Amino acid sequence: MQVFRDRDDAGEQLAERVRELGLADPVILALPRGGVPVGYVVAEQLGAPLDVTVVRKIATPDFPETAVGAVTAEGAPILNEGLSRMVRADDDELARSAEDERAEARRRVKIYRGDRPAPRVAGRDVVVVDDGLATGMSARAALSALGEEGAASLTLAVPVCSPDAARALEDVCDRVVCVHSPPEFHAVSLWYERFPQTEDTEVQELLRRAGV
């Protein structure tokens, strides 16, 4: 079942697909943590700048393992209304959770980027990279926030994706680039031979190498 040796291999294969788009001035924004090793290779292959866009999942106290939404450091929260109803999420609880996670997203941006300014997004071709697309909730939050910043075009680029999740994102980006889109999609990790957890220190090192 495995298609990729590791995230480096996935990044190399994905870079070829993104190169075919012929984007004039792309900026690669990776989703930490697992998307950063993939995004690093894509940025290196394309000679493009690399940075991060941090997304945090929103949950409720009663169901802490069930993500009912997602939020970035600056964008509006994205909620899955169906899931919210299923877990009987209270509006006040959701609002508190969203603000807590937004604060955590900002904290993580500081960890990864330090005092350096965010890259310019307005008028540029933005490529959002992750190591896979399962539900699409994090990607939707990232793409929606970047769209509000005036990106010239928005591309989501992932090595492997759920076809349903990819189609569901067509309203918030110009295109989804995916190397492998199996009709029977399971966990992202199943498509990699090696899929270790990416640590914050690795993210920081890759961003340092990329000149962020």
Q: Looking at the domain assignment, is residue 2 inside a domain?
A: no
CA distances from 166 to 41, 101, 142, 175 (A): 22, 25, 14, 9
Q: In the structure encoding, which two tokens stand for residue 93, read together? A: 């609880």
Whether the CB-CB separation of 165 and 135 falls below 8 Å is answered with yes
Whether 29 is in a domain gets the answer yes
Co-location of 37 and 134 in the same domain: yes
CATH number of the domain that residue 87 is part of: 3.30.1310
Say whether both 191 and 177 belong to one domain.
yes
199 shares a domain with 153: yes
Supply the pLDDT for residue 127: 99
| Angstrom distance (rounded) from CA 104 to CA 153 | 28
Instruction: Output the tens digit of pLDDT for each of the chain's 212 residues.
Output: 679 999 999 999 999 999 999 999 899 999 999 999 999 999 999 999 999 999 999 988 888 888 899 999 988 899 988 878 887 878 888 999 999 999 999 999 999 998 888 889 999 999 999 999 999 999 999 999 999 999 999 999 999 999 999 999 999 999 999 999 999 998 999 999 999 999 999 999 999 999 86
User: Could you tell me if 82 and 177 lie in one domain?
Assistant: no
Contact 140, 167 (CB under 8 A): no
What's phi and psi for 155, nearest 5 deg?
A: -120, 130
For residue 68, the enclosing domain spans 56-112
Could you tell me if 2 and 190 are in contact, meaning their C-beta atoms sit under 8 angstroms apart? yes
Residues 42 and 127 in one domain: yes
Specify whether 136 is located in the same domain as 197. yes
Residue 105 in domain: yes
Last residue of a domain, one of 93, 112, 131: 112
Do 125 and 199 reside in the same domain of the chain?
A: yes
Nearest to 7 by CA among 141, 182, 189: 189
Quick one: CA dihedral 119, 125, 127, 128, positive or negative? positive
Q: Does residue 123 share a domain with residue 26?
A: yes
Residues 64 and 137 in one domain: no
Say which CATH number the domain at 46 has: 3.40.50.2020
Strand, coil or helix: 19:
helix
Residue 169 located in a structural domain: yes
Q: What is the pLDDT of residue 200?
A: 96
Is 18 domain-assigned?
yes
Peptide bond into 33 cis (omega under 30): yes
Query: Contacts from 76-85 at CB under 8 Å and sequence distance 24+?
Result: 76/144, 76/145, 77/102, 77/141, 78/137, 78/140, 78/141, 78/144, 80/137
Neighbours of 51 (CB within 10 A): 23
pLDDT at 27: 98
Asked whether residue 1 is domain-assigned, the answer is no
Q: Kindly state whether residues 146 and 77 are assigned to the same domain.
A: no
What ranges make up the beta strands (E) of the chain? 26-30, 50-52, 55-58, 69-72, 78-79, 125-129, 153-160, 175-180
Say if 150 falls within a structural domain.
yes
Same domain for 162 and 138: yes
Domain match, 132 and 88 both:
no
Confidence (pLDDT) at 52:
98
Q: How many domains does the chain have?
A: 2
